[in-house]
A and B are shown apart, each in its own frame.
Chain A
Amino acid sequence: MKAFLILFRVRLLDVLRSRSSTAFVLLFPLVLLAVLGLVFMHGHPFERRYVAIVETNQPTEAVAASVRLLETYDEVRVSVQRTESEAMGKLRTRMVSAVLSPSTDGPGITLRVGERDRIFGSGLASVLPVPTRVDVVRAPRFGYVHYLFPGILTFSVLTAGLFGMGYPMALFRQNLFLKKLATTPLRKHTFIAANVAARSLLVLVQVVLLLLVARIAFDMPLTISSAAWVLVISMLGVFAFLGAGFALAATIKNADLLVDIISAINLPLVFFSEIFFPLDGLPKPLAAFGSILPSTEMVRLLRAVLLYGIDDASHLAKGLALLVAWTALMFAISLRTFKWHT
């Protein structure tokens, strides 16, 4: 019993004597509760149904009247999409329940719905103020998996970047490898570049494997062009996250604390990065915060090329530029703060 008490005390004090461990054990669940509370304060993300319309300079009166009516219903949201293929991509991946467009053969509108939304489509048609034709569209069996795939890929790249770079760097500091290198003529740019290259190659293989499995097992739509874009976007993403991992490791010297902090950052990022659901379901400040994250941009770019058929570089340029900016910022911080030896 005495041994039990001593061991109990030693183990308890082991945590309590480390401010970081105590903070992580006691505060992290509270932070998680606060984050999830904020994320879901307006209900769960699929409580509302989304109806997509395609952005146009001159909407028909029928579409405009329908949108005005839909906006009076709290349970329905109108989601404006840039292109027809984007709207249909969202229908196929179950992110919208219907696509509303001007009728091609009359003054009314056409409402396209998936096979599982026939009742919703009929109900909607019955309340709309204009003649409505409901077309049932065949959606892929794994539609929501297709929606999730860019998020899963981003999460893998995010984790590989933050953990894959941050943790080994902190370990290298702890086991004195960095101090050893400090006694040599090795330039820190060379050291950082070699680490980035090694991790990037592993991530590249990881991405290719994910794409293959997604294509074979989940019928993921994939073309040569979209696959090439996925690789480009993934590489830009991994550079940004490796940079972030390096910047964290340059700032936080203790490997255990670093792991705690990366874990604490990782989880909220999942909710703020459109991995499982769109940001417009979040309170506005959180949605604004989420929209500037590199993970969100990466998810959006991947969805654009994989699900919405966008392969024109000019349409992707803004997102790609944001990833490049994040990469530059993270490596600038890393190079500035990194020290071989403290």
Chain B
Amino acid sequence: MQTSPSREIIHAEALGKRFGDTIALEDVSFTIHGPGIVGVLGPNGAGKTTLLDILEGLSVPTSGNYRLFGKTPVPYPRSRIGVVMQKEAQIDRITVAEYAELFSVIFGAPRGTEKILEQARLAHRSSIPVTRLSGGEAARLHIATAVVHEPDLVFLDEPTAHLDPDNKRIVGEFLRDLAEHRTLFLTTHDLHEADVLCDKLLFLVGGRLRASGTKDALVASVPNDERRGLGVEDAFFHFCAIRIRHGETAQEHPE
């Protein structure tokens, strides 16, 4: 299945999540149209994973609501969604081929095992345990597994964290290819990666959405005196960092 251009993929309205007295997410609203790569940027503890957990149907928001593909996600459309977790499952004594086969069968993807191995460029490593893959190989395997069923929307939680620059580039190219026909919604705190990869950005700090919009629009809205020619980094510091420093509540920037 492929995402039609400009079709509504995610619409979040005043999403909030509390864990006891701790506010993890507060009043987060945005709309995403596909295809393309949407990056959620924010420092550690910004609420990125909490937001992803909610949108992935793994956690229920304590306030607000959201739609996926224009509908309330009940039942949750698992077959149209792919997920790459921040810390993927470490299963002992399962080979790469068995791992690929397991998820191919679960998602009902014909010739899925071969497809995963080919996409992840791991055919030559199919008989080794998953736990023995390098960071880059494991990232490719998990991403290829998450898209084996051709989902319309893929959530990726910091997919390139802990990768070396070369592997970051390889995985980045892989993601760009995947985003041609579908929407990738990824979190990162790597400003450079966001600049290179993402079409649209959400700046999340302290559980609140500070700004959202296309990369170009956000960068263009940075006042000249704050520009250092660093693109997304300038935008992020303009909308978030100064406010983080001063503990201010930021005004949300329109798309």
Binary interface encoding of chain A residues 171-187 relative to chain B, with 1 for a CB under 8 A from any of its CBs, else 0: 01001110111111110
Q: Are B106 and A183 in contact (CB-based, < 8 A)?
A: no
Q: How many A-B residue pairs lie within 8 Å, measured between CB atoms?
A: 42
- Residues 75-92 of B at the A interface (beta carbon under 8 Å): 78-79, 81-83, 85, 87-91
Q: Are B106 and A186 in contact (CB-based, < 8 A)?
A: yes
Question: Nearest-CB distance from A186 to chain B (Å)?
Answer: 5
Q: Are B58 and A184 in contact (CB-based, < 8 A)?
A: no
For residue A180, which residues in chain B have a CB less than 8 angstroms away from its CB?
83, 85, 88-89
Instruction: Considering the complex, give the chain A residue whose CB is closest to the CB of B91.
Output: A177
Q: Are A183 and B107 in contact (CB-based, < 8 A)?
A: no
In the docked arrangement, what's the CA distance between A186 and B104, Å? 11
For residue A172, which residues in chain B have a CB less than 8 angstroms away from its CB?
89, 91
Question: Nearest-CB distance from A194 to chain B (Å)?
Answer: 10
Q: Is the interface of B mostly helix, strand, loop or mixed?
A: loop
Q: Are A179 and B58 in contact (CB-based, < 8 A)?
A: yes
In the docked arrangement, what's the CA distance between A181 and B88, Å? 11
Q: Are A176 and B87 in contact (CB-based, < 8 A)?
A: yes
Interface size on A, residues (CB 8 A): 14
B interface, how many residues as a size bin? 10 to 19
For residue A186, which residues in chain B have a CB less than 8 angstroms away from its CB?
106
B56 at the interface (CB under 8 A from A): yes
B174 at the interface (CB under 8 A from A): no
For residue B108, which residues in chain A have a CB less than 8 angstroms away from its CB?
185
In the docked arrangement, what's the CA distance between A336 and B208, Å? 35
A215 at the interface (CB under 8 A from B): no
Q: Which residues of B contact A (CB under 8 A)?
A: 56-59, 78-79, 81-83, 85, 87-91, 103, 106-108
14 A/B residue pairs, CB under 8 Å, sorted by A:
A176-B87, A179-B85, A181-B106, A183-B78, A183-B81, A183-B82, A183-B83, A184-B107, A185-B78, A185-B106, A185-B107, A185-B108, A186-B106, A340-B58
Q: Which residues of A contact B (CB under 8 A)?
A: 172, 175-177, 179-186, 340-341
